[in-house]
Structure 1
């Protein structure tokens, strides 16, 4: 990939985040309701967010993922992120993750971003399978991926250890052939 790909949708521009976006990102990454299902404690300062941005850059450099900042066309402020992690090109699969500032919940923004990222993954990265790992209590994310065509495959018991506890996660997936838009 020569340049970071920009994805444009009807209302959004998905772009590479930079260190200058730390203040925007701090607004939602410091919100306990936004991060509670991400296995993170709320960030305490914009400086803490720099580590998150460094992680985005490292997964891109390593070829194990890519994360886009979600911005509205009319503002340019980063209001969330969406992208791939744990990419396994040899197996044509990746995991998708996303989060969105609480003030934008319920407006279809996360779904619009997720749909564009899924389409990009199947077309550009030639993925065959995209997975989403979601905590059982995170009903809104479960509904979001189900609306995009993901199927729940099962429960992974004590799959992650985050914030001092073991977390069960539902495994969801969508296969390239599940989509009619490609």
Structure 2
């Protein structure tokens, strides 16, 4: 993994050294309106980040790519992540502190990650699962070229009721 630079953001490969600062970011209750919950403790988050530093699943079949998002003035504001499978498909996710919503930063960070996945990891198909009510995330994915998956894809990927599966196919150049 490498550092990814955009016009206004830096995506750094996530390490255990980021845990303390990310614990503050991930403790923002607004980001859990639709799913998940904050990390229970800093120690728990350190242990999770340590496991993720392997950059691969236990069986070695998937690459786990996680970047923290840093602003020019050095503060962390969230993360982007991808699980890359050998078939060129990646599942993506992202989270930003609510203080940074609505500024185009999520779009910039996710687009930078997608470009990295396509150019350096051979990704040709992307998917993201979100809660149906999470319109902010739905609109972000639509702006990035994702569309609603067909019902048979929802079944294939075991998407739960109340969730949407968004997909994007990458056109070869």
Give the gaps of 5 or more residues in structure 1. Answer: 161-165
Distance in 1 between the 2:10 and 2:56 partners? 19
Aligned residue number for residue 78 of structure 2: 80
Distance in 1 between the 2:122 and 2:85 partners? 11
Give the gaps of 5 or more residues in structure 2. Answer: none
The answer on 1:7 being equivalent to 2:1 is no
Aligned residue number for residue 30 of structure 2: 33
* Aligned residue-pair number: 167
**How many angstroms does 1:134 deviate by?**
1.0
Question: RMSD across aligned C-alpha pairs, in angstroms?
Answer: 2.3
Matches within 5 A, 1:80-119: 80-85=78-83, 87-89=84-86, 91-119=87-115
Distance in 2 between the 1:68 and 1:97 partners? 11
Distance in 2 between the 1:64 and 1:36 partners? 28
Distance in 2 between the 1:138 and 1:146 partners? 13
User: Greater share of strand residues, 1 or 2?
Assistant: 1
**How many angstroms does 1:154 deviate by?**
4.2
Distance in 2 between the 1:18 and 1:120 partners? 18
- DSSP 3-state at the match of 1:82: strand
TM-score normalised over the length of structure 1: 0.81
The answer on 1:124 being equivalent to 2:120 is yes
TM-score normalised over the length of structure 2: 0.84
Aligned residue number for residue 18 of structure 1: 15
**How many angstroms does 1:36 deviate by?**
4.0
**How many angstroms does 1:83 deviate by?**
1.8
Distance in 1 between the 2:125 and 2:26 partners? 28
